[in-house]
Amino acid sequence: MILAATLALAVPAPATFSTERLARIDKVFQQYVDENRIGGAVGLVLQDGKPIYERAAGWADKEAGTRMAPNTIFRIASQTKAITSVAILSLMEEGKLNITDPVSRFIPSFASSRVAVGNGARVDIVPVKRPITIRDLLTHTAGISYGTEPTIASQYQAKGLGPAAGFGWFTADKDEPICDTMERLGTLPFVAQPGEAWVYGYNTDILGCIVEKASGTPLDVFIKTRLTGPLGMKDTQFFLPPDQRSRLAAVYSHGSDGKIVRAPDGPRGQGAYVDGPRKSFAGGAGLLSTAQDYAHFLEMIRRGGAIDGVRILSPRTVALMTTNQVGALHSPSGMGYGYGFETTDRYGANGMDSAGAFGWAGAYSSTYRVDPESHLVVVFMVQILPNTTDLGRKFPTLVYQAMEP
């Protein structure tokens, strides 16, 4: 009890917000819509779980004439990673696995993992110096990329991964379970030795397969029954029922002039989230969600793993997720990476984030940040791929500039 009281005292009282200064966000959102730099966006800010800013601006589908709404559904891509990381850590808490376990305990092909090493004009394939572990996957220090590097791209292409999978991470159109894909991935060379570099890639997709193996449950069912269901996140799922198609925001792309054009169908555009095979549950990039659902998930994390009487993780496990576990491997300038979240380790390293803040983003240009010191959850949803706009970086700055003592 003494420790709990000390921790409570360590968090300062929440700041107030200037309504006039928050209104600047509205003006910026509308400017970007009017200048055709975004189709539309949703911004949501919670302070101690209560909305202090929520705005849906522009179009969810400009061509169809569908306005953006607070409950518009978005492809959240790599925002899926935090949810899958929670799933893995909940299994750790149950004794179903250890984060020090080798990946090969669950996916046999990883018993013979190899690394592609450049040697002048030659590429040598060498064995890993030690087994890849679940911890390596959680922290993106396994040496596993998305297979698009020139040294390995052709091998990944031949296995239906890397360049053959959209931008590398897209698997929603695959007519096979995710564990089949990850077993095949284990036969391919990686790009760094485990523990020696921070490499962003298929790590959390592998974790999704491990969730299935350790629990004996498909990943979509596990997430629904253990996370999104108990948390009331009714709009967070891997594939959208056809009768909800009109709620899914369209994907746009930026041309050379910075103006949006509608993205094509397929893995580099609209994806296969309604009409696809519905077999690949990608723990690294596969979920759909709303700003409201995702902010509720983050608020659970901010509160130490529980909300509204539902406990998902213990506070100590949440601390593992939100504490830098990789030293300077992720960044030498004040940013770190925990068990599923990027961390801000000093003020000024990431805009106006407080030290101790954490978050990440998605390939369709959505972003989020949790700032425990300021009692904030900040979520920005948009659908642009590829993206050249800076609005995702401006949004948290516009939030923080409205704070008052």
pLDDT in tens, 20-76: 999 999 999 999 999 999 999 999 999 999 999 999 999 999 999 999 999 999 999
**In angstroms, rounded to a whole number, what is the distance separating the alpha carbons of residues 26 and 298?**
23
Confidence of residue 7 (pLDDT cuts 50, 70, 90): very low
* Percent of the chain surpassing pLDDT 90: 93
Neighbours of 265 (CB within 10 A): 12
> What's the pLDDT at 120?
79
Torsion of CA 290, 292, 296, 298, to 10 degrees: 60
Report the candidate in 193, 189, 215 with the shortest Cα–Cα distance to residue 130: 193
**In angstroms, rounded to a whole number, what is the distance separating the alpha carbons of residues 252 and 291?**
18
> What's the pLDDT at 118?
86
**In angstroms, rounded to a whole number, what is the distance separating the alpha carbons of residues 154 and 216?**
34
Report the candidate in 147, 140, 120, 142 with the shortest Cα–Cα distance to residue 129: 142
pLDDT digit string, tens, across residues 79-121: 999 999 999 999 999 999 999 999 999 999 999 999 999 887 8
> What's the pLDDT at 11?
58
Residue 279's contacts (CB-CB under 8 Å, 6 or more residues apart) are 174, 175, 176, 177
> What's the pLDDT at 355?
98
pLDDT digit string, tens, across residues 244-287: 999 999 999 998 899 999 999 999 999 999 999 999 999 999 99
> What's the pLDDT at 10?
54
9-75+237-404 and 83-221: identical CATH topology: yes
Task: Kindly list the domain boundaries of the chain, sorted by start residue.
Answer: 9-75+237-404, 83-221
> What's the pLDDT at 13?
74
**In angstroms, rounded to a whole number, what is the distance separating the alpha carbons of residues 87 and 348?**
31
Q: What number does CATH give the domain 83-221?
A: 3.40.710.10
**In angstroms, rounded to a whole number, what is the distance separating the alpha carbons of residues 77 and 170?**
9
* Length of the chain, in residues: 405
* Percent of the chain surpassing pLDDT 70: 97
Lowest mean pLDDT among 4-13, 123-132, 174-183, 348-357: 4-13
**Is domain 9-75+237-404 annotated with CATH 3.40.710.10?**
yes
**Residue 196, token pair as written in the block:** 């020696």
Looking at residues 188-205, what average pLDDT do you find?
98
- What phi and psi values does residue 217 have, to the nearest 5 degrees? -130, 135
**In angstroms, rounded to a whole number, what is the distance separating the alpha carbons of residues 135 and 321?**
11
> What's the pLDDT at 12?
65
**In angstroms, rounded to a whole number, what is the distance separating the alpha carbons of residues 155 and 246?**
39
Report the candidate in 242, 239, 220 with the shortest Cα–Cα distance to residue 173: 239
**In angstroms, rounded to a whole number, what is the distance separating the alpha carbons of residues 300 and 35?**
37
Looking at residues 156-180, what average pLDDT do you find?
96
> What's the pLDDT at 288?
98
pLDDT digit string, tens, across residues 200-228: 999 999 999 999 999 999 999 999 999 99
**In angstroms, rounded to a whole number, what is the distance separating the alpha carbons of residues 372 and 8?**
11
**Residue 65, token pair as written in the block:** 């004439």
Torsion of CA 122, 125, 128, 129, to 10 degrees: -50
